[in-house]
Amino acid sequence: MTDVAPAPFRNEKALKRLKKRRAADTRFRLYGLSAIAFALAALSLLLVSILSQAISAATYHVVRYDVVLDPAVIAPAGKDKPADVARNIDGFYELLRSNLLQTFPDAQGNRLATRQLGDLVTRLAVLPVAKAVAANPTQIGQELTVKVPLNDDLDLYLKGAVSPEARVKLGAVEQGSETATGQVRLSGPNAFKGLQSLIATQRAEVGDAADARSILVTSGTATGRVVSLSADNLEMDLLAGSASDFQGTRPLARIIALPEAQRNVSDKQIAWTLALKDMGRISRVPHTSLLTNTDSTYPELAGALAAIVGSLLTMLVTGFIAIPVGIFASVYLEEFAPRNRLTEIIEVNINNLAAVPSIVFGLLGAAVFLGFFGLPRSAPLVGGLVLALLTLPTIIIASRAALKSVPPSIRAAALAVGASRMQSVFHHVLPVAGPGIFTGAILGMARALGETAPLLLIGMVAFVADVPSGPTDESTALPVLVYSWATHAERAWEPMTAAVIVILLMFLITMNGIVVFLRRRFERRW
Amino acid sequence: MESTITESRETITAGTSMDETEGLTYPRIECKNINVSYGDKQAIFDISLPIPDRSVTALIGPSGCGKSTFLRCLNRMNDTIESCKVTGEIIMDGENINDPDIDPVLLRSRVGMVFQKPNPFPKSIFDNIAYGPRIHGLAATREDLDEMVEKSLRRAGLWEEVKDRLSSPGNSLSGGQQQRLCIARAIAVRPEVILMDEPCSALDPVATARIEELIDELRKRYCIVIVTHSMQQAARVSQRTAFFHLGELVEMGDTDQIFTNPRERRTEDYITGRFG
């Protein structure tokens, strides 16, 4: 009895082993946490990048015009029926353009300047105005205030998305006068020192490239482009307004990093836009037309309504086909089908179908629904059919899992009180499996909502200018709209695309929200 | 309906030899040469067993001896297992209920069953009981149905405990109450035979005692067949006992005789705890 066994709580070896086990526990927890952290980081990166892009498309700039609806322009004799007025885009555009020319008389007589001024508003943007006037012809001859979206490039410029811009407030200008060569000279003691030093720092950064940059000096509605500069004197080409506008003010100078030749907006257009803004005629408003307009070649006019309706119609067709067929197929396979070689083969093939790339379903749809059955191209009906095929395996697999999870004792209980097999399924098994089945169905639908490839192949990528009124009309869908807008070259489409992605995400979140709600509300606990 | 049943009972009584079931009422169910196999594996070998009316018949035996399988033959629950094949005759009211012509749905409305684990429907207590009468069209009016539910619950000894919360879910009851609910559910379709497959194995002793009391009560109206692992339970509740071993019926007789004076060696070994 000399060697006493160590107390069980203080055994060296056991403690060492325990420590190892603890370390393994901690390590495993860390792996798990880091995996979740990575997933969350990726998700938030995605959301942040999309939202930060989309946020600039949430608002846009509109220009206010106070015009007189001159019947000679918008409803000339012989073309004064409401239908004609509604179609008279040229007339309404002319009204706005002449309004702009009145505001900036310098542009008159200069073809290039006139055209550039006219570009401030897109021709087609007057269409809603024309329609509104045609619907209410008593307005003709009256004065009317209309608000029309600003050209997308200038909109981007005002949002700061065209080019980086350095700004500096100049010193007090004592005198502004026109020179013999038609330029404007501003002078004031040491007024331009700040600008000079800004140019110097830019030159130090980028070298001679700084010379190509436009330097715009703005005071109120007047803007000029700097030609030469000293500490006390500045000479510039006047782009808008007059020399006297600068007198006694402290103008704002901006150096636009992107040279004029590389921009879609000229210095002149920027000058006009700044002037209009100073006049209070440009305002930034919520971009509701994104939800109420249909597709357009002009970003400022384009909207996603046709795609939203198209997606809804497609989902309707998909849901009406895939959900009942999927549920009945899974109920039959799970509850009634005999277990033999044939059902096994069917099961394996359903699982295989779930793994078939979606574009293959698109090819199938194009060959069978369009080629063989001759259904209309680009129609939500066909899109819905193809997506129904695509989601069917998902729904069947999810529904079968839900049915499998119903305890067999429920079936036995029903059979034992004399229920037939169908009664036991429909009275007891389906109600219990219901939430699971609908969860699967909605998740399948959510997947279908985001599908692009199969819709491309059946022609739903077409440019659709009208809201589809039924499942056989030409249509497009939200993910396809994302695809086609993302392929446009113009910069303005970028935030627009992000905005459509956000709309699509909203749809998906809503559907997943329904799933969560269903689970919470109806799931039964055992 | 009532009269035809009575008539057929009488004919059976007249025509069946009574030597083995002496001292008891006529057999309610007469099983003849029952063989059951799952695929290639035979589970029950040639069992013939008369089951007397208005009494409790206990089936005892070690695990896997085929007693549950045999029980499930009596309401053809084995039909739901695809690979399961049952041959032999099970005569009830002069008809072979193992005949494919007999609809198991009708059979099950006359042979109720209570399972090992309480399995109430995930519905209200009322709906649990009312489901059977509803699908069989036993209640013409809502009042009939209410009355039927009350009667079934009273017979199952559950009425006083649940009468104030008939609309709460059946799963909210305690285990023992759930099992009595299941018994009430079986009673509600007015069966003549009640099969119980180890009805107390998931319950505590107090709940078990209540169920056993209930079984003793129900014996006055129904023919009851109970499978049990507990020999004490078999001794307590049953009048007749059948001992199964490896798919064979080793011995059957009055419970007192089986437990005090078994004829077979295997029976004796089992009830004295030497195996199983």
The structural domains of chain B, with segments of one domain joined by +, span 2-271
Decide if pLDDT at A25 tops 70. Answer: yes
Distances in whole angstroms, Cα of residue A306 to Cα of each of A126, A136, A447, A510: 20, 26, 20, 20
Nearest residue in B to A431, CA atom: B122
Looking at the fold, whether A375 and A517 belong to one and the same domain comes out as yes
pLDDT at A402: 93
Mark whether A80 and A110 lie in a shared domain. Answer: yes
CA-nearest residue of chain A to B170? Answer: A526
Average pLDDT over residues A161-190: 86
CB contact under 8 A, B132 and A415: no
Q: Is the dihedral of CA A112, A115, A120, A122 positive or negative?
A: negative
Residue A6 confidence (pLDDT): 58
CA atoms of B203 and B115, how far apart (whole Å): 12
For residue A332, the domain's CATH number is 1.10.3720.10
Confirm whether A222 is domain-assigned: yes
Distance (Å, whole) CA A178 – CA A275: 20
d(C-alpha A52, C-alpha A509), whole Å:
19
Residues A96 and A212 in one domain: no
Residue A271: name the closest of A250, A242, A300 by CA: A242
Answer whether residue A419 is part of any domain: yes
Given A262, A293, A326, which residue is the final one in a domain?
A262
Q: Of the residues A262, A295, A313, which one is the last residue of a structural domain?
A: A262
A 456-495 → B contacts, CB under 8 A: none
Give yes or no: residues A322 and A398 share one domain: yes
Taking an 8 Å cut-off on Cβ atoms, the answer to whether B106 and A413 are in contact is no
Sign of the torsion angle spanned by Cα atoms B204, B206, B209, B210 = negative
- Cβ–Cβ below 8 Å for B182 and A338: no
* Arithmetic mean of pLDDT over chain A: 89
Question: Nearest residue of B to residue A408 by CA position?
Answer: B119
Closest CA to B149 of B167, B126, B171, B165: B126
| A117 in the same domain as A198 | no
A48-97 pLDDT per residue, tens: 999 998 998 899 999 999 988 888 888 888 887 888 888 888 889 988 99
Per the structure, the count of domains in chain A is 3
A310 and A423, same domain (yes or no): yes
- Give tens-digit pLDDT for B8-40: 433 333 333 334 444 445 678 999 999 999 989
Determine, yes or no, domain membership for A12: no
Structure tokens at A30: 């860390």
Residue A124 shares a structural domain with residue A200: no
Structural domain boundaries enclosing A99: 61-148
Contact B185 A413 (CB under 8 A): yes
Give domain status of residue A39, yes or no: no
Q: What residues of chain B lie within 8 A of the CB of A420, using their CB? A: 105
Query: What was the ipTM of the complex prediction?
Result: 0.85
CB of B268 within 8 A of CB of B262? yes
Cβ contact (<8 Å) for B135 and A419? yes
With CA atoms as reference, the chain A residue closest to B115 would be: A413
When pLDDT is averaged across residues A458-487 and rounded to a whole number, the result is 88
Neighbours of A130 (CB within 10 A): 20
Confidence band for A7, pLDDT divided at 50, 70 and 90: low
Q: Is residue A24 part of a domain?
A: no
A118: pLDDT strictly greater than 60: yes
Tell me if A130 is assigned to some domain: yes
Tell me whether A414 touches chain B (CB under 8 Å): yes
Instruction: Please report the pLDDT score of residue A524 as a whole number.
Output: 59
Neighbouring C-beta atoms of residue B255, cutoff 10 Å: 21
- What's the pLDDT band for A515 if we cut at 50, 70, 90? confident
Residues of B in contact with A416 (CB under 8 A): 75, 77, 108, 112-113, 115, 186
pLDDT value for A525? 53
- Decide if pLDDT at A431 tops 50: yes
Name the one residue in this structure whose structure tokens are 């059976």.
Answer: B12
Check if A338 contacts B (Cβ < 8 Å).
yes
For residue range B62-85, what is the model confidence (pLDDT) as tens digits?
988 989 999 999 999 988 888 899
- Cα A277 from Cα A298, distance rounded (Å): 22
* A412 and A351 within one domain: yes
Please tell me whether residues A197 and A328 are part of one structural domain.
Answer: no
CB contact under 8 A, B112 and A416: yes
Same domain, A234 and A95: no
Report chain B residues whose CB lies below 8 A from the CB of A414: 121, 131
Q: Are both A109 and A171 inside the same structural domain?
A: no
Does the distance separating the beta carbons of B109 and A417 come in below 8 Å? yes
* C-alpha neighbours within 13 Å on the C-beta side of residue B75: 31
Residue B7 has pLDDT above 70, yes or no: no
CB of A521 within 8 Å of a chain B CB? The answer is: no
The pLDDT tens digits for A131-145 are 888 888 888 888 889
Q: Which CATH number fits domain B2-271: 3.40.50.10210, 3.40.50.620, 3.40.50.300, 3.40.190.10?
A: 3.40.50.300
The verdict on A207 and A80 lying in the same domain is no
pLDDT band at B227 (very low <50, low <70, confident <90, very high): very high
Q: Look at A31 and B138; give whichever has higher pLDDT.
A: A31
Say yes or no to pLDDT of A125 above 70. Answer: yes
* Chain A residue closest in CA terms to B190: A417
- State mean pLDDT over A488-507: 90
